[in-house]
Structure 1
Amino acid sequence: MQMDKRRHRYNKVDRLENVIAMKLDASYFFERGMRFLRKNDLERAVKAFQKTVEYEPDNPVNYCNLAGVLAELGDFQASSDLLHYVLEHMDPKMAECWFYLANNYANLGDYDAAEEHLLRYLELDPDGEYAAEAEEMLGILIDEFGGGRALERKQREEARAETMQAIQDGRYFLENGQFEVAVEWLEQVVASDPSHIAARNNLSLAYYYTGQYDKALAMANSVLERQPDNLHALCNRALLLQHFGNEEERDRAVEPLLKVIPLHPEVAMKVAITLGFVGRHAEALAAFRRTARFVPPDHPMLLHGLAAAHANLGNLEAAECLWRQLARFEDCARLADYHLERVRQARAAGQRAVSISYQLDIPVEMQLAEVRDRLQNSSPDEWRRDPLLRASLHWSLRHGNREVRQRVIRALAVVADEDAEEALKAFLARSDIDASLQEQTLVALKRMGAKGTARMWRAAGPVEVRLEDVRQDIVLDLQPQWREVWDLVHQWLVAHGLSSLAGQARRLWLAYLYDELFLDVRKRIVKPETWASGVLYVVLRYADVPVVQRDLAAQFNVSPSSLSKCSSRLEQIVLRAGWRGHPAREE
């Protein structure tokens, strides 16, 4: 049978008209790559994702997808090269690249690099898609692979950056109790940058801590002129007006604080404390309760703030419950016990409310007792290192009784840094201290080698004193017995034709006074003759002058053992000073 060839002839035109053209683009190859991935056909998946890059070379997601498949194939270096290319040339904010890089470096065995990249990811996107996995992986690197070095470096860098910022805005000096230094530094900062609001607020606090209340209020007002709603300045202003006793102005200053609900925990706490300080206890209680939404329920400042508000309002049972919770914290136990005892005494006396400070620190009477005890027992290094102790020194110098002030002057003479010097100069400038305290302060300044001028009050009014011109032997004026020892030494040397040794003897005695007797108010000289013989014995021996201890003791009518004891103490000064020569043997 003959076939009609024309009927079955292939019609190319008809055929082309019935075919749908395939659209080859990045999306097509992405879907193709995903199908290969699901089949675990990694080689073909790589080729598909390479095509996505060719079709869309400006899309960083395509590079990341390709990097992911290369990592699955074990080509971690090629994967990392792609990820670095994305971060360096396409999208530096693509945080997930750091997480992918961390996985690559971990697989390559470079755990330090993996740790660094995880930290970088968590810094850029702490709540990101991979945050939980990054935290878990970081823990594994530290616990199982001996990591932690990158974390320590990061923490040191963050601490250094925070310290630099704290120094710039003055917080560092305030937090370390260096109030005079804070004033000097912040005045310079504000002068060079009047728009630095944080520095102005901190300068207001520094003025307050150094007793310059007028300046503190003026600085708070200067902030409010620039930023009328600045909560830190509003709080500072209200507290200062409370200090001045201006109730009408204070109430107007408090009004804005009643209308705000701060969302930052630190600011919210400050507003609540301020309301309590100015006597708005019900409003303070409400503010502390709002603050509880932003801080842990056992936050010490929150517990004490709530307890103080309840106590001031007469809710003694609620206050007791909160202070018992506070007593669980070792650092706050003494404070909590103190207030619990006050509540107990109030109940016994039939009182319905107790006046409590909102500040989470030791009450005034406890501070004075504690400063007195610690001045007796603490080492000088402890005062240098502990910012709270330094702050208590400043506070006690301004508010303590005479005994406490004497001890503080000596403690600051040992601390002997710039802030201690400024504190002593500020104290010396007060018009309400007597001549004896002035002399002790000058001795402390001489001991620390202070330079420049200092202001002090005399009968005719304030005078400027050049510290370099103050006599080195001013320390002899503090105790009659100290001068009597020197007089006995000088008279003996003159009588025995040894006046040439007077300078050396004087240096020895003054050094002992500055380094020993002045620093400890408990030490007393009972018999000046004993110390005079001790000074002479040391000086004569080091000058190679023949001397017999028993004979010298007899001349001053003291026992040889007492002379020996004193000379041994004095010789420690000689050894520390590094005098030339050596003690001659006793003749």
Structure 2
Amino acid sequence: MNEDKLRAEDLYNKIIPVHLDANFFFERAVRSLDRNHYDKALKYFGKAVEYEPENPVNHCNVAGIMSEMGDFSGSNAVLAQVLKDIDPAMTECYYYMANNFANMEQFEEAEKALVTYLEEDSEGQFLEEAEEMMDLLHYELNRPAKLHRIKSREGMVEHENARALLEEGKFAQAVDILEEIVKNYPDFLSARNNLALAYYYVGLFDRAKETIGEVLEQEPGNLHGLCNLAIFYQHEHNMTELAPLVRTLTVTIPFHQEHVFKLATTMGILGQHEVAYRHFRRLLKDEDMNSDPSLYHYTAAAAFNCERYVDAERCWKFAQKLDPESDVPKFFLSQLHQFQAGTSVQPKISYHYHLPFEEQLKLWELDGDQMTEEIRHNPLIRSSFFWALRHGDVGTKLQVIQAFAWIADDEVKQALLVFIQEPDEDIELKEAAMFVLQGMGIDRETLLLDDSEESSQDSVKDNLLPEDCNWQLVVNKTLEMMGRSSLNQQEDVQRLWTEFLNKSYPDTPQLHHMEAWSAALEYWSSKIYGDSITYEEVAKRYGLSVSTVSRYARRMDRVCHMKGRKRSLL
């Protein structure tokens, strides 16, 4: 008896209990799939659904097997049920449905499902495959899909536009776009980095540093942020903060091309030419980049600045071979040979792939028509001239004014008219500007009257394009909306708007959205009188969104530095 009992216990201990749950049937389904037993796999996935009916993945597995078995319509029915009853946020179901519709040659329905996937899915798991399917549907339907956005790439198109504006020197416009991107996508660190650079270019150094601080707070090791911060420290001559940061960057070895290039150019700007040369050499080994003449110039500049003259000569010769029409490699080869021959002191070689400003001016002195043509067709050069007139040192501003004498078009005239009205500008520079203006046919007596309010307003009128001549309507609308106001306040509104238009030049805004500019003008006019007005109050009265009013007000603040101003400063 005891022996039989022991045998029964031994037998019981050898039995492995089976827990029938969703995972059990999922594993059985996967094994069946590995053996190409689709019928069994479908049955097991169906049992998993019975055990966990609220789990959308189980339903999608069923839909996937049905699709593999050719039941595309049944598969879509299951996917539609997932979206309707179980998890509407499971947007990848639309991609699966598009595949099923395409297999049934229902291309219109496939397009609808695919567009919904691209416009609603934020993860982009099947983005590459979806774009390939979009090409197929374009071919089958003989027309492009009506796709308004790709949610998983939100902000990317706008960011590329902003980067293009930065490259063209249109910094204020880039700031507008980048601020909006950063507001809508706070984790978009590339946009935040470029916003910092845009602030730097327009002279808002405090905001630039603050924005970089926001980048590094989210990602302390962000290489672009660290490089930008180092350049800002150098601009401030803050050696205490710069020195440890340079030590960190010196031992950093980035992997991606973009990061290598950023670090190389930054180290060159910081005077760490040996480190810059090492990174530029790495880039020259990359087949995707070694046909760029500017890269050979950067490498040559780094080599020359760390006394590797043979390497510098070789790189400039490569650049000349790749870009035979350019004067840049020829000029720097000449500089190198003169220095080696002892006929000149060691020159300071810039990393920029263009002639030094002084040399460009010498060439243009010989051929003013060439300069005018080049600036007319190169917005970056033109923008850099106007930026230098506002933010350069005294010597640079004088050279720009002299260059403007050769260009002598309407934009130059208006830029110089605004320049001579600036109270803080150097007297000798103003005299030089007035001399150029006299050469353009404006008599000196008229120029001396330009400090009056009427002359200031006239210059603004001339700044604007014909379609923008509703500039005065903005002031009229503001005064109308403000209701009863004192004569002093009316004059201050007029002066503030005139100041904004003058200081915005040559990036004077388009004034098609008059109500938004009027709302921003009222907001700041009220603020400088000490009123506790809010964006919400102004937006409600003008019938605008709060974001619109704040965006236009921020544009005025960037130009006129409104925060903290009181009436006495107007």
With normalisation by structure 1, the TM-score equals: 0.51
Aligned counterpart, 2:235: 240
Quickly say closer, same or farther: Cα 1:66–1:143, change in 2 above 3 A. same
How many residues in Structure 1 have an aligned counterpart in Structure 2?
417
Tell me the amino acid that sits aligned with residue 49 of structure 2: V
Please point out which of 75, 99, 105 is paired with 1:79: 75
Confirm or deny: 8 A CA contact 1:431 1:457 kept in the other structure.
Answer: no
Deviation at 1:282, TM superposition (A): 1.3
- What is the 5 A alignment of 1:6-21? none
Distance in 1 (CA, whole Å) between partners of 2:199 and 2:33 is 71
Aligned counterpart, 1:406: 405
Please point out which of 287, 302, 325 is paired with 1:309: 302
Q: Alignment partner of 2:271: what SS?
A: coil
- What is the 5 A alignment of 1:44-83? 46=42, 49-83=45-79
Confirm whether residue 31 of structure 1 aligns to residue 24 of structure 2.
Answer: no
Confirm whether residue 465 of structure 1 aligns to residue 452 of structure 2.
Answer: yes
Confirm whether residue 161 of structure 1 aligns to residue 155 of structure 2.
Answer: yes
Deviation at 1:309, TM superposition (A): 0.9
Quickly say closer, same or farther: Cα 1:76–1:209, change in 2 above 3 A. same
Gaps of 5+ in 1: 1-18, 191-195, 447-455, 476-587
Quickly say closer, same or farther: Cα 1:263–1:315, change in 2 above 3 A. same
1:65-100 per-residue CA deviation (whole Å, 9 max, x = no partner) reads 211233245443442343354456656776764542
- What is the 5 A alignment of 1:387-402? 387-395=380-388, 399=396, 400=399, 402=401
Quickly say closer, same or farther: Cα 1:96–1:438, change in 2 above 3 A. same
Tell me the amino acid that sits aligned with residue 64 of structure 1: C
Tell me the amino acid that sits aligned with residue 306 of structure 1: T
Quickly say closer, same or farther: Cα 1:267–1:235, change in 2 above 3 A. farther
Question: Alpha carbon RMSD of aligned pairs, Å?
Answer: 5.9
Distance in 2 (CA, whole Å) between partners of 1:187 and 1:97 is 34
Tell me the amino acid that sits aligned with residue 312 of structure 1: N
Confirm or deny: 8 A CA contact 2:45 2:58 kept in the other structure.
Answer: yes
Aligned counterpart, 2:532: none
- What is the 5 A alignment of 1:169-568? 174-179=166-171, 209=201, 216=205, 231-241=226-236, 254-255=246-247, 257-258=249-250, 260-261=252-253, 269-288=261-280, 296-298=288-290, 300=292, 302-323=295-316, 325-326=318-319, 333-343=326-336, 345-346=338-339, 355-368=348-361, 369=363, 372-373=368-369, 376-377=372-373, 382=377, 386-395=379-388, 399=396, 400=399, 402-408=401-407, 410=409, 412=411, 429-435=425-431, 437-438=433-434, 464-468=451-455
Confirm whether residue 106 of structure 1 aligns to residue 105 of structure 2.
Answer: no
1:33-53 per-residue CA deviation (whole Å, 9 max, x = no partner) reads 9749966775x7655543332
Q: Percent identity?
A: 27
Q: Alignment partner of 1:124: what SS?
A: coil
Q: Alignment partner of 2:452: what SS?
A: strand
Confirm or deny: 8 A CA contact 2:134 2:145 kept in the other structure.
Answer: no
Deviates more, 1:359-368 or 1:290-299: 290-299
Confirm or deny: 8 A CA contact 1:163 1:172 kept in the other structure.
Answer: no
1:299-345 per-residue CA deviation (whole Å, 9 max, x = no partner) reads 84654332221122232343344445555766995544543454455
Distance in 2 (CA, whole Å) between partners of 1:198 and 1:361 is 27
Distance in 1 (CA, whole Å) between partners of 2:181 and 2:34 is 61
Q: Alignment partner of 2:155: what SS?
A: helix
Confirm or deny: 8 A CA contact 2:280 2:298 kept in the other structure.
Answer: yes
Distance in 2 (CA, whole Å) between partners of 1:133 and 1:249 is 47
Distance in 2 (CA, whole Å) between partners of 1:269 and 1:161 is 24
Tell me the amino acid that sits aligned with residue 236 of structure 1: I
Confirm or deny: 8 A CA contact 1:105 1:113 kept in the other structure.
Answer: no
Deviation at 1:367, TM superposition (A): 3.9
Deviation at 1:60, TM superposition (A): 2.6
Tell me the amino acid that sits aligned with residue 405 of structure 1: F
1:386-409 per-residue CA deviation (whole Å, 9 max, x = no partner) reads 344423454478632654122456
Distance in 2 (CA, whole Å) between partners of 1:33 and 1:327 is 62
Confirm or deny: 8 A CA contact 1:282 1:309 kept in the other structure.
Answer: yes
Deviates more, 1:115-124 or 1:302-311: 115-124
Confirm or deny: 8 A CA contact 1:316 1:353 kept in the other structure.
Answer: no
Aligned counterpart, 2:503: none
Distance in 1 (CA, whole Å) between partners of 2:128 and 2:174 is 42
Confirm or deny: 8 A CA contact 1:238 1:274 kept in the other structure.
Answer: no
Quickly say closer, same or farther: Cα 1:164–1:182, change in 2 above 3 A. closer
Quickly say closer, same or farther: Cα 1:23–1:420, change in 2 above 3 A. farther
Quickly say closer, same or farther: Cα 1:37–1:103, change in 2 above 3 A. farther
Confirm or deny: 8 A CA contact 1:142 1:148 kept in the other structure.
Answer: yes
Q: Alignment partner of 2:351: what SS?
A: coil
Quickly say closer, same or farther: Cα 1:175–1:21, change in 2 above 3 A. closer
- Could you say which structure has the larger radius of gyration? 1
Deviation at 1:432, TM superposition (A): 2.7
Tell me the amino acid that sits aligned with residue 298 of structure 2: G
Distance in 2 (CA, whole Å) between partners of 1:259 and 1:354 is 28
Q: Alignment partner of 1:432: what SS?
A: helix
Confirm or deny: 8 A CA contact 2:267 2:276 kept in the other structure.
Answer: yes
Distance in 2 (CA, whole Å) between partners of 1:357 and 1:377 is 25
Deviation at 1:412, TM superposition (A): 1.9
Distance in 2 (CA, whole Å) between partners of 1:33 and 1:206 is 54
Confirm or deny: 8 A CA contact 1:430 1:457 kept in the other structure.
Answer: no
Quickly say closer, same or farther: Cα 1:174–1:46, change in 2 above 3 A. closer
Tell me the amino acid that sits aligned with residue 313 of structure 1: C
- What is the 5 A alignment of 1:84-99? 84-86=80-82, 97=93, 99=95
1:488-516 per-residue CA deviation (whole Å, 9 max, x = no partner) reads xxxxxxxxxxxxxxxxxxxxxxxxxxxxx
Confirm or deny: 8 A CA contact 2:159 2:178 kept in the other structure.
Answer: no
Tell me the amino acid that sits aligned with residue 363 of structure 1: P
Aligned counterpart, 2:467: none
Confirm or deny: 8 A CA contact 2:212 2:229 kept in the other structure.
Answer: yes
Distance in 2 (CA, whole Å) between partners of 1:202 and 1:33 is 48
Deviation at 1:357, TM superposition (A): 0.9
Aligned counterpart, 2:4: none
